[in-house]
Amino acid sequence: MPLGEAKTLFGPGLGGPCEYYRIPSIVTTKNGVVVACADARYCSGSDNPNRIDKVVRRSLDSGETWSDFILAVKEEGTTQKGSSAAIDPVMVYVEEINRIYMLYCHTPAGVGILNCRVGTGETKAGEKIISKGLKKYILKNGKLILKSGKKSAFRVRKNGDVYKGSTLSGNIYKRERFKEFASSFLMICHSDDDGLTWSKPKSLNSQVKTDYMSFIGPGPGCGIVLKHGEHKGRIAVPIYYGTRKTPLRLSCCVIYSDDLGKTWKLGETPNNTRTIGSKKADSKRITQSQMLTESQLIEQEDGTLKYFMRNHDKRKSVATAYSKNGGESWEDFSWNDDLPQCICQMSVIKLEGTKKASVLFLNPASREKRENGVLRLSEDDGETFTSSITLKKGPFVYSAMTQMPNGKIGILYEPDLECREIDFVSIDLNEIKKGE
């Protein structure tokens, strides 16, 4: 196989904080640093509820060697049901300010995608709403204030511990007496030193989550910065959301920022612009088979965005759509039967510095199960994929890709269904062009 040797980047016994790792994201900075991120899952390899942190490793030599683990986001708790989670990373690198943004989904203890309450859990100003029995508080500047405006004697530390004087009264993230809203929060943090250190995370719920949404989470994978047209400089990050607890009804869309990540807006979902039969779809009323979930996107040469979407349709093909307004809305929804999918995440990147408009697409290329990671090359801006190689036969799950300083493509992927390892491999573009 025309590939470099795969190495395990996140896994047991490598110096990380736990035994289980999932969900890769990877970017390259203008300083030549490759930054890889993953979920560190403590109690098991399962999704939330679980104790899940964010860990990062860095490479200064295009993936030849890697740094020790860096704890970028720390959650609270020690048990499966009693811990908070930071799940599913999307990183996006903004060259103009040399900043990496990391977005992820935070949930308090006992909460996962299947039982998120509808609502933002915040005031319009972005202050957390905390409950204790029937009492409601607003968390402001580390203090709990009753919704009436009356101050309380309770203070909340950065880790969520609640104190009255010197007495510990529980933890809001572990939902002990004082409880964070039992839903999901779309979080963001950043690094200005090529992934070495990370800012304190903040929630975007008050900006992009609506009152009818239950679950909200990113990508996962990578976001992009637009390089062409009237929206040049816009940061676009794929997310998806639910509109009820159960049964799940999920739709994907893009959130975007036109001020280098200071503020964010919510774009329309293709599930509000496509037609199903003769009727316009509605993300609040879709059926399970009409769900659009984890997604990735590219920008084409004329500034058009092309969307690639995991979905639950019985044809088991990747769904696509286009945006002429930088991800604000979508048109020309269709299915690409040349891109099979088994209801699993996919990764896609637009390459720079190539003679032709080159796009790489990677996913488990099966309609049956999560297996056979096939890497495909398009030289017509992601419209057709004419060359391909098999990255890995057998089990293959989530992935992320980046273009590295040495010109090769760095690929981070889950090599099996054990939820323990994430592997890294690099490949030369010319090898992909040769095909199999």
pLDDT at 15: 97
User: Using an 8 Å Cβ cutoff, are 115 and 183 in contact?
Assistant: no
Q: How far apart are CA 317 and CA 321, in angstroms?
A: 13
Q: What is the pLDDT of residue 436?
A: 64
Q: Which of 176, 294, 381, 423 is catalytic?
A: 294
Cα 261 from Cα 310, distance rounded (Å)? 26
127-180 — its CATH code?
A: 2.40.220.10
- CA torsion 197-35-8-81 (nearest 10°) is 50
Q: What is the pLDDT of residues 150-181, one digit of tens each?
A: 999 999 999 999 999 999 999 999 999 999 99
Tell me which H or E stretch contains 361. strand 359-364
CA nearest neighbour of 90 among 9, 20, 190: 190
Sign of dihedral through CA atoms 337, 218, 44, 348? positive
CATH of domain 7-122+191-434: 2.120.10.10
Check whether the bond before 238 is cis (ω within 30° of 0): no
Q: Which residues contact 308 (CB under 8 A, 6 or more apart)?
A: 295, 296, 297, 298, 318, 319, 320, 339, 346, 348, 361
The tokens describing 284, both together, are 């609040």
**What's this model's pTM, rounded to 2 decimal places?**
0.97
Alpha-carbon span 241 to 203, nearest angstrom: 15
Residue 1 is predicted with a pLDDT of 39
Helix (H, G, I), strand (E, B) or coil at 430: helix
* CA torsion through residues 347, 204, 186, 404, sign: positive
| Domain range annotation of the chain | 7-122+191-434, 127-180
E strand or H helix at 207, and its extent?
Answer: helix 205-208
Type of residue at 379? E
Tell me which of 39, 47, 75, 176 is the catalytic residue. Answer: 47
What is the per-residue pLDDT for 3? 65
Q: 235, 257 in Cβ contact below 8 A? A: yes
Phi-psi region of 201 (alpha: psi -120 to 50; beta: other; left: phi over 0): beta
Q: Does 47 qualify as catalytic in the annotation?
A: yes
Per run of 10 residues, the mean pLDDT along the chain (length 436 residues) is 79 98 98 98 98 98 98 98 98 98 98 96 96 96 93 96 97 97 98 98 98 96 97 98 89 98 98 90 92 98 98 97 98 97 98 96 98 98 97 97 97 98 96 82
Find residue 360's DSSP bridge partners.
Answer: 349, 377
- Residue 245 burial class via C-beta count within 10 angstroms: exposed 0-12, middle 13-18, buried 19 and up: middle
For 272, the 3-state DSSP assignment is helix
